[in-house]
Structure 1
Amino acid sequence: MGADSEETIMFRAGVSRRKFLQWSGAGFGAAALAACVPAPGAPAAGSGADAEPVVIRFHGRTGVQGDHFIERARAFEEENPGITIKEELFPHAEYHQKMEVLLAGQTIGDTFWTVLLSGLYHRYANQGVLLALDDLIASHEYDLGVFFPESLDAASHAGSLYSLPWICHPGRVGCYYNKQLLADNGLEEPPADGDWTFEDLLEYATVLTQDTDGDGQIDQFGMQPGRDPWSLLVWSRGSGGEIFDEEGKTSLLDSEETLSAIRFVYDLMHTHNVAPSPDQQTADMFVSGRIGMAQSGYWGQSWVNRIGDRFELGAVPMPKGPAGINGSMYEFDPACIWAGSEHPDEAFEWVKWLANQETGIRIAEAGSVPGSRPDVWEHERLTKSPIHNVFTNIMYNVLPYRGPGNFRGLEFRDAYSNGMDPIWLGNEEPENLVPELSAKIQEILDKPAS
């Protein structure tokens, strides 16, 4: 992606053969780094029998991923006794704010997790917060050929890599379902290859939506669609639409195709009454058996832990829309090194550990998503799960990521959520409000890169 501008975070569905071979052989040119950044490849500060261990600070989220990071850190330390990992984990809702405070005070850790969707990864790369890994990749003779090409393309900025891909997935593409409810209502399980339509889903949802106690109120819904922008994108792409243009410079939220997708999801809630609106939906409706189908990503498999023995969980790709395709979007989470780290080599050893095969398998087994490597997705420890295999098939046909080209993903997210709430609540028709919201999003896209 050396030809991509600094304003662009879009990646192609693949990379050129020349670029991929160049990366796979670790043949990067040296990146221009700030003079204060330690030179990669220097002798490890913790080397030598009597040396004190080098402490590498790491930031990530609490929860399933945080527990995973802690477990992998202890395993890493056993293999690398000269390096100690100090985890500093924050709740998801506070994570980005905490990171901004640490960056402002120049007290950020050596390494950290971030995410593609927020735009922060490319923003940090653009601002010089992240260390370009080109020289470290070359000096460590690290093989990048183990990763999905899409991961390398997504991780690149202005011709350099600023992270190693940790995990990846094809978006909010799973239609999970309650096998017992479908069987009880005479419905066959949807096709595992995703060859079904929006209309088919509506038929299923209509049968599954019921007033089970006869009080005149619906207490079992057929479908729970996602309402966030990346869930909507699955419906939009199935309809032939997008939220952004290819460069992330133009809002397409009010395009005919995307507006029709919004209308379909709106109608599920407020015309057909087969999906709960936000004010009807309560926690755990799906896992308690009060919703028949639900949209989610790979991580939805972890619902089995809360479902228990109530029913068996199934999953297929979300249906095809009017465009005749199943919507999807490639996403990945990177592991990064701060450009000001005093121990770049030791930090890189830790980042490599997070990107290895075993780590990629374990994070999927923990209830998150697999590592960004084919040898993870195809490993027998994961392929024994039929649901995993549904997502694997989507991964090999995944559509590319698109986000704001000026890296203002958080601003977009907030504007979208605030603007769409009246629609999802049924207070406004999509056609009345979406053009106004699209104009607000365009104002965000017109701002300079953050």
Structure 2
Amino acid sequence: MKPSTLKLAALTTLALAGTAHAGEVKYMLWDNLQLPAYQQCAADFQKANPGTTIKITQVGWDDYWTSISTGMVSGTAPDVFTDHLAKYPEFARNNQLVDLAPLIAKDKVDTKQYRDGLYDIWGRDGKQYGLPKDWDTIGFIVNLDMAKKAGVSLADLQNMTWNPKDGGTFEQVVRKLTLDRSGKNATDPKFNPKSVLQYGYQTPPGGGNTGSMGQTEWSYFAVPQGFKFQDAPWNSTFHYDSPAVASTWQYLAGLPAKGLSAPMQMVKGSSADAMFVTRRVAMIPQGSWMVSFFQSNAKFPTAWVPLPKGASGQRASMINGLGDSIWAGSKVKDEAWKWVKYLGSADCQSKVASFGVVFPAIKGLAEKAQAVQKGKGVDTSAFLTMAQNTFLPPVADHSSQIDAIMQSAWESVMTGKAAAEPTLKAANAKVNAVK
């Protein structure tokens, strides 16, 4: 889960109380939208733990992992940091994370309190490298003014289907939402795909993990067609050469030629999010962590709707969950563990839920966050609908090498430089050769 490419803050540091001392725990996260919630958790924690100070640093996604990695080498990494499933395997492999398993057992932390699957995915061979903090799914956000003018109802949007041959009712909706500069939509034979004023749909250009995970870009189209990343977490054999992936990538790559999406080269200079808030596109995919961003930046009526059903008749969304990890080089491991344990507790996660920015990992608190969001005028039930049929992201060693291979393949296909099927076969062979 990544913040918007429209950065609201590049770097923010909050020293919440006191000055640096032996009891200071440095904590780093990347999402500025979640910063107030964790500032409150830190303030509450400090009241209950006199002598311990939580110093929070927020660094935008693009610089975050470089900061963590270089800090581990130089000895200046944060004691605790928000970790990602695509990143932690390499930290763990290099012995840069504290094994939390004995601490969890000693303090009898209830690991069953978390949403199913979120705890186990942070462990391997009896060791545990993070405590779950939240979860997210994907939905589509739609400009309701554009939908109304196109004659597309909310029911139409909530019940879309998709297949790679003709795009299903998803493409029918997208065609109605697409307008050329003479005002014709893409259902009109006279529609000009080379002179588009308003695109119906936009695939995000993606960045890190796009080719290998496709959380917001492509996985939810491929999985209902029968695709599985790997047979089980940590399995080193991948299935990116699946026909379901090839047909999905080829379909998405073909949307610009139809005039239904902007060419990927154009979007890379901006973002799908920016196109949406500036009314250049009617519908985009995004994650539940971005609800507050669009509430603040989209100055028109919007709706979040579930992803389309595939050939199986099912919808499917990746469910990603962040965790908090402790750096093995920390000089304040005892205090760091107390902080991580608190971050994973009902006390902190209930406070996070009250801010309505993300869905906490503890069972039942997502509904609390949803109620807060509804009170702000945003219906986020689509994300809970998607949470009924989810799949986990791939988790494996050498994830950065795998992602580099798959990112190159994705960009080649999406920019029209190569066909999906041979590109994916070659990329999958390279991925499975990584050791």
Q: Structure 1-normalised TM-score?
A: 0.77
Backbone CA RMSD of aligned residues: 2.7
Change (3 A) 1:93 1:167: same
1:137 and 2:104 equivalent?
yes
* Identity %, equivalent residues: 22
Task: Return the letter of the residue paired with 1:176.
Answer: I
Does 1:223 find its partner at 2:223? no
Once residues 416 and 397 of structure 1 are traced to their aligned partners in structure 2, the CA distance between those partners, rounded to angstroms, is 25
Structure 1 contact 54–82 (Cα < 8 Å) conserved: yes
Deviation at 1:190, TM superposition (A): 4.1
Contact 1:167 1:371 in 2 (8 A): yes
Q: Distance in 2 between matches of 1:432 and 1:53?
A: 57
Counterpart of 1:180 in structure 2 is 145
For residues 169-318 of structure 1, the aligned pairs below 5 Å read 169-170=136-137, 173-190=138-155, 196-197=161-162, 198-213=167-182, 217-227=195-205, 228=210, 229-230=214-215, 231-246=217-232, 247-270=234-257, 272-281=258-267, 282-283=270-271, 284-301=274-291, 302-308=293-299, 311-318=300-307
- C-alpha displacement at 1:182, in angstroms? 0.9
Give CA deviations for 1:31-80 in whole Å, capped at 9, x if unaligned: xxxxxxxxxxxxxxxxxxxxx77111222226324454444323322332
Maintained 8 Å contact 1:239/1:257: yes
Aligned AA for 2:77?
Answer: I
1:115 maps to 2:104? no
2:51 maps to 1:82: yes
Whole-Å Cα distance in 2 between the matches of residues 266 and 244 of structure 1?
24
3-state secondary structure, aligned to 2:390: coil
Describe the shift of the 1:104–1:70 C-alpha distance in structure 2 as closer, same or farther (beyond 3 A): same
Amino acid in the other structure paired with 2:298 = I
Once residues 410 and 333 of structure 1 are traced to their aligned partners in structure 2, the CA distance between those partners, rounded to angstroms, is: 18
Checking the alignment, whether the CA contact within 8 Å between 1:226 and 1:232 is kept in structure 2 is no
| TM-score after normalising by structure 2 | 0.80
Whole-Å Cα distance in 2 between the matches of residues 76 and 326 of structure 1? 40
Once the two structures are overlaid, the 10-residue window that deviates more, 351-360 or 203-212, is: 351-360
Q: CA offset at residue 210 of structure 1?
A: 0.8
Find out whether 1:409 has 2:396 as its counterpart: no
- Amino acid aligned to 1:153: D
Q: Name the counterpart of 2:358.
A: 369
* 8 Å contact from structure 1 (residues 146, 375) kept in 2: no
Please say if residues 243 and 258 of structure 1, whose CA atoms lie closer than 8 Å, have aligned partners that are also in contact.
no
Q: Give the structure 2 partner of residue 101 of structure 1.
A: 70
Q: Secondary structure, in 3 states, of the residue corresponding to 1:410?
A: helix
Q: CA deviation at 1:240?
A: 1.5
- Residues 206-241 of structure 1, C-alpha deviations (whole Å, 9 max, x = no match): 111111356961010111123522222111102211
Pair 1:356 & 2:356 matched: no
**Contact 2:220–2:315, Cα closer than 8 Å, also in 1:** yes
- Counterpart of 1:400, as a letter, is L
* Letter of the structure 1 residue corresponding to residue 278 of structure 2: S
Aligned residues: 385
Partner of 2:386: 394
What is the alpha-carbon distance in structure 2 between the residues aligned to residue 342 and residue 194 of structure 1? 53
User: How far apart are the structure 1 equivalents of 2:127 and 2:430?
Assistant: 33
- Match of 2:431? 441
What are the superposed Cα offsets for residues 283-323 of structure 1, whole Å, 9 maximum, x if unpaired?
A: 42111222111111112322121112xx2111112112223
Q: CA-to-partner distance for each residue in 1:110-169, whole Å, 9 max, x for gaps?
A: 2122111x2x21232333322222332233333223211211111222123222111111
Gap change, CA 1:59 and 1:207, over 3 Å in 2: same
Residue 338 of structure 1 aligns with an amino acid whose one-letter code is W
2-side partners of 1:132 and 1:432: how far apart? 41
Runs (5+) with no aligned partner, structure 1: 1-51
Separation of aligned partners in 1, 2:340 and 2:71: 20
SS at match of 1:279: helix
Residue 399 of structure 1, CA deviation: 1.9
Q: Aligned partners of 1:318, 1:387: CA distance in 2, in Å?
A: 15
Q: Give yes or no for contact 2:356–2:373 (8 Å, CA) kept in 1.
A: no
Q: Distance in 2 between matches of 1:361 and 1:65?
A: 13
Whether the 8 Å CA contact 1:361–1:382 is kept in 2: the answer is no
Q: Secondary structure at the match of 1:427?
A: coil
- Whether the 8 Å CA contact 2:28–2:82 is kept in 1: the answer is yes
* Counterpart AA for 1:387: D
